[in-house]
A and B are shown apart, each in its own frame.
Chain A
Amino acid sequence: MTPPNQAAATPDRVFRRTASIDPQKGVGAVARITAMCFRYPWRAGLAFAATVPAVLMQLAIPFILGRAIDQTLAADRDNPDVRALVLIALTLLAVSVLRGLFTLVQNYSAESVGHALAQDLRNAIYDKVQRLPFSFHDRTHSGDLITVGMLDLEGVRMYFSTALVRTLLLTLLIGIGAWLLLSTDVVMGLLALSFVPFAAWRSTVMRLTLRRTWLILQEKLGVLSQVMEENLAGIRVVRAFAAQDHEMAKFDASSKDALDYSHQRIDVRVRNTSAMTLAFFAAMGLVLLYGGRQVAAGEITVGTLATFLTFMTILQMPVRQLGLMVNAYARASTCGTRLFQLLDMPVEIDDAPDAKNLEVTEGTLRLENVGFGYQGASGQRAVSGISFEAKRGETIGILGAPGAGKTTLMHLIPRFYDPTEGAITIDGQDLRNVTLGSVREAVAIVQQDSFLFTTTIENNIAYAAPFTEERRIRGVADSAQLHDYVLGLPQQYGTVVGERGVSLSGGQRQRLSIARTLMTEPAVLIFDDSTAAIDAGTESRIRTALRGYATDRVTVIVAHRLASLKHADRILFMEDGQIVERGTHEELLALGGRYKALHDLQMHPEADVLEKEAPQ
């Protein structure tokens, strides 16, 4: 009973996180993100504009300090010029304050561009994910999509402040700084800057290495956490086989793997950062030696030497962070590529350009020669040649072995997929020509596995009709035989269920799923094997409760249990994607075919029946 899995056998790997990426696409993605940043021209402009004075103020400080030292040394011992010193000090203070303020403006506007961009992208991603059809979700790993929406988004968000603005900042700082130093003293300038290329190179190599190894480490940690999670979730199996030692061995293997790798990463980081520091200090030593000789020779002042040394301290940090900037570009290109791949994904099932709303008058559902094959199933059709009609008030029962195409067929009616052949119509309107929203309103389906939202039971029931009244919620819960169970819960209808709430049994989930579908008023209601975990007694009570509800619409029931559908007006027996028998319960029994065999098997599971019917 797993038709979508046939498609999932060849899952789409485009959203997998790997370090490799098509360089051309990467450049395109970076260009596109850059363009998007200028959707906020004022903030982006302000960030760039504030960077210039921030850098200039930064660069002014060493000169002012050098000036202060020279001023001090030149001062008259008995009558020092206090005013000159105070003036320099005030300038220093003013420059410091301004540097801080401009940096604030620069950083804040840059980050706000990132946050604004993230907000836009979040909305776009969410909207896209919700609109992409089942076929897309079948072949895409949900975890991969979540990482696109979380980590890739983050990579793109950081781009403006850590890549773009920082590029300007570093260019100005190193460019102007170098020019100032070299024009003061070429030799000393070269000595002072000698650490820059080395540090820039090491830092870049280190960041890119760390980035690549980070992805590998994440994978290894992913394996470890999977081992732990599967162990905990399957703890009964572990205990039943007394497999604790086996499990510890599994844990140790993947744990050691991750640990060794993370030690290596620490090594890469430590060696590079220490080497960068050493290079910086070595350059400082050279400046001290050469500059000291110059000072002694009276060629330059102590103030100039101090200017050079302070300059170096100022340049040190940004140069060491050069790698971060390079990394930010790399990250933006991989993250952006994946993100845009998602955003540009065509929505295959969407409203036709001139689509009108579906108008339900008679409420007649018709399938004409419907056929469908999954993408990538090499032309193999999961269902074919399906035709039937159902009028308002009628019930259609569908059964057949797993893989017969029942669920596939059911998924075509609400347009989760579009048929590749034939047509499905309601009151003569082809579902592909009307708006998708109106189709989904007219066709409701209780799906095989019932996804519950992590929220209260009442919110879950009212999911399709959130503005409903409380009375109705209780009404449908009652019809689905859920009300009494809910009353027994600690917070009753306010009890949180779902992934992180109270866990419900399979039958309870299915009843909740039925209840929430009953909130709608569809023309066609489909039960897709949605009572498998509900016991026969409860199911028959649900059936009784729905008797009135069913008179207003077409009901289609897919089930394995004959009791679930023998009351249907027509029963369709499917095999290999086609209808092989059809008729009422009595007609099919009289026919003496597959339906009859199944009936006998279910009613009298005696050993001899088992032997006779077993397809060897």
Chain B
Amino acid sequence: MSPSRRGEPRDPHDDGRPRMRAVVGSNRIEEDIFGRVFDGKVVSRIWKFVEPYRRRVWIAVAAVLVFTLSQLTIPLLIRYAIDHGMAPGAPGGLLAGIVALFGVAIAINYAASLVQERVTGQMAENVLFDIRRKMFGHLQHVSLSFMDKTEVGRLMSRLQGDVNSMQEFLETSVQSVGDIALLVGIVGVMLWLDWQLAGLVLMVLPVLFGVRVLWLAKARAAFMAAHEANSVTNNALAEAIHGVRAVQAMNRARLNAELYGELANRTYQAQLRASRLAQIMIPIVDSLTGIAMAVVVVAGGMMVASGRIEVGVMVAFLFYVQRFFDPIRSLTMQYSVMQRAMASGHRLTEVLDVEVDVTDAPDAVPLGPVDDGSVEFRNVTFGYDPAIPVLKDVSFAVASGERVALVGPTGSGKSSSISLIHRFYDVQEGAVLVGGRDVRGVTQESLGRHIAMVLQEPYLFTGTVMENIRYSSYWASDEDVIAAARAVGAHDFIAAMPGAYDAMLDERGSNLSLGQRQLLSFARALAADAKILVLDEATANIDSYTEMQIQRALQRLLEGRTGLVIAHRLATIRNADRIVVLQQGVKIEEGTHDALMAQRGLYSKLYDLNYASFDDIPDELTDADRATAT
């Protein structure tokens, strides 16, 4: 069965008893953190987001170069000050002149750093927000089947984690231009000052580079391990917090603490290892810097003594040598940043490339108030996978103002039908008509306004009650909202909340009961004031009192509109003008309650069982009926 997994501690009671199944913290499904260092496709996609800011990019690059140049000038000016300004017999104003130049250099340095950091930082921030906006906007239109099979958490990590690592990359990219310039500059200036001394000193450079690169591979593994261990441990803590009621109910606290102790210890060990690796670089760099300085002292000293170079040159060398390591560190760091960014960029483009399969036709017209509230299915065949149709040649019509109940066992295609009315998907054959027009020929926006929908699970947003009921129906006034709430019988409990309509709802409305949430979602549909109401009745067993309230609200909701209801409750079904019975994607019966009862088909059998809900009917019965009906 399940093989032992990463993140699963060894059995602390491994004493021959059956295998322990205790785990705290979950299995993490890790994504690749590092990708190829350079991926042309990804870069060109990301460049599209940077392009609008390209003027700023050039400004930033120019500023970083100026900044680096002024950095390089400073030791040189010190050198001239020492060798010429302070030399015995130097003209009096020379030192002051050099210091004045120094003043100019640092002023330029200040301005350049101000410009470069601000422009880079803000540009990267803007690009990040643009990418996120583009992705978020795209997700509003991609096919629902993609959204159905993709976890929200996964998309959120695209919108946050991956976008952030792109930002880091953009910010450090400009930085690296500066680093490369600094490195080249230091080497150049040193060679220019004295190529022989420079040659000697620069011998440590490849060593430094080599050590750093070798170290990086090892260190990165250790850092990753520490990061991983840490997040597994944090995960376990989060789980303990979220599941504390289950943990206490099942008396697992003690064992869990023991298991968690192991995770915490593993994190501790991994972090110590990472810490060791991070610190080991310090003596290495210090030693190499020491060697370089020693070389300058001995070789440079000899040269100064022999008059080959002036002492200021030696001082400048000493200054440059101490600056060696910074750009090398940043550049090697940049390597990992780039790898991470490429992996993230790849995932981002994947999201951006998800197909939008339902779009407005170029000649789409809006559905307007003159269009009626009729709905018609004309020989509709549809499957999420075209090879496996879930609706087969289904035809039925709902006249404006009529109420039709869709009835049938699980998997009969009821939910798919109502998705089609809204054009969440396009049919493969036949047509769905709303207000007498093919839904593919009208704008999606107007279709949305023409139809109000109540989903099986009420979904509320963080915000006030007022905002939740109004939702996107900006035309509804406060009075309209309150009237809608009154109509569905939600006014009383809303008025009893602190702040009434301005009361804040918690995440998903968790401070309300299921029945109350249901009523709010009814009010929302009512406030939208659409001609057609599509409703997927809740299946969960709520208590009978709430149930009654909801039934009453439903009657109000349907008044004066076309109603198409996926019905589970007998009370709802009986209130319909007509009933359409679906089974396994095929319409098997249609008619009024009396007509269907007279027909003595599946419907009448279900009804005769006298259960409160069609879903309550034991499977065996429907199985038997299925056999007779098909």
Contacts and interface: CB of A to CB of B under 8 A. Distances in A.
B37 interface: no
Given A108-B276, A255-B133, A402-B546, A72 B300 contact: yes
Nearest to A161: B275
Interface in A118-137: 118-119, 122-123, 125-127, 129-134, 137
A85 B301 contact: yes
Contact of B237 (A115, A125, A313): A125
A97 B99 contact: no
A171 interface: no
B447 A69 contact: no
A615 B544 CA distance: 12
B205 interface: no
Interface in A435-451: 437, 440-441, 444-445, 447, 450-451
Interface string B364-376: 0000000000000
Contact of A104 (B283, B449, B569): B283
B282 A103 contact: yes
Task: Assign chain A's interface to a size class.
Answer: 35 or more
Interface in B153-191: 153, 155-156, 159-160
Interface in B524-563: 528, 534, 539-546, 548, 551-552
B422 A239 contact: yes
A451 B243 contact: yes
Given A123-B264, A270-B118, A453-B26, A277 B109 contact: yes
Contact of A236 (B144, B307, B514): B144
Contact of A500 (B78, B153, B508): B153
A288 B254 contact: no
B95 A292 contact: yes
Interface in A255-308: 255, 258-259, 262-263, 266-267, 269-271, 273-275, 277-278, 281-282, 284-285, 288-289, 292-293, 295-296, 302, 305-306
B474 A246 contact: yes
A341 to B, nearest CB: 16
A114 to B, nearest CB: 9
A3 B530 CA distance: 36
A402 B548 CA distance: 13
Interface string A120-160: 00110111011111100100001001100110000000000
Interface residues of B, number: 177
A537 to B, nearest CB: 3
Could you say which of B86, B88, B144, B272 has the most chain A C-beta atoms within 10 Å of its C-beta? B86
Interface string A240-257: 111111111001100100
A440 B251 contact: yes
A270 B268 contact: no
B209 interface: no
A255 B126 CA distance: 10
A234 interface: yes
Given A453-B26, A537-B617, A296 B18 contact: no
Interface in B263-317: 264-265, 267-268, 271-272, 275-276, 279-280, 282-287, 289-291, 293-295, 297-298, 300-302, 304-307, 311, 314-315
A537 B293 contact: no
Interface string A388-418: 0000000000000110000000000010100
A602 to B, nearest CB: 5
B241 interface: yes
A281 B109 CA distance: 10
A402 B267 CA distance: 46
A556 B508 CA distance: 31
A369 interface: no
Interface in B378-414: none
A376 interface: no
A237 B106 contact: no
State the main secondary structure of chain B at its contact with A.
Answer: helix
A357 interface: no
A45 interface: no
A266 B298 contact: no
A334 B86 CA distance: 54
Interface stretch (A199-207, A224-232, A323-331, A419-427): A224-232
Contacts of B291: 93, 96
A613 interface: yes
Given A137-B244, A240-B455, A150 B234 contact: yes
B33 interface: no
Contacts of B110: 274-275, 277-278, 281
B449 A242 contact: yes
B58 to A, nearest CB: 19
Interface string A74-114: 01110010100110111011111101110110011001100
Contacts of A248: 136-137, 140
B257 interface: yes
B421 to A, nearest CB: 10
B1 interface: yes
A487 interface: no
A100 B287 contact: yes
Contacts of B315: 69, 302, 306, 309
Given A82-B302, A90-B294, A267 B620 contact: no
Interface in A358-412: 401-402
Contacts of B451: 240
A302 B282 CA distance: 30
Contact of B81 (A247, A288, A491): A288
Nearest to A241: B472
Contact of B251 (A65, A80, A441): A441
A532 B543 CA distance: 9
B241 A146 contact: yes
A97 B290 contact: yes
Interface stretch (A177-185, A466-474, A580-588): A466-474
Interface string B104-145: 001101100110011001100110010011001101110010
A296 B617 contact: no
Contacts of A237: 453, 455, 459, 471
CB-based closest 9 A-B pairs: A242-B448, A96-B290, A537-B618, A100-B286, A100-B283, A454-B26, A243-B472, A494-B2, A466-B22
25 contacts: A1-B543, A104-B282, A118-B267, A122-B264, A126-B257, A127-B253, A145-B241, A149-B241, A232-B147, A241-B528, A242-B444, A251-B136, A255-B133, A273-B113, A273-B117, A296-B90, A305-B86, A310-B318, A414-B248, A440-B251, A441-B251, A469-B18, A532-B542, A536-B618, A606-B574
Given A251-B133, A470-B18, 10 more contacts: A69-B311, A93-B291, A111-B279, A122-B237, A231-B139, A282-B103, A296-B90, A447-B246, A459-B2, A614-B548
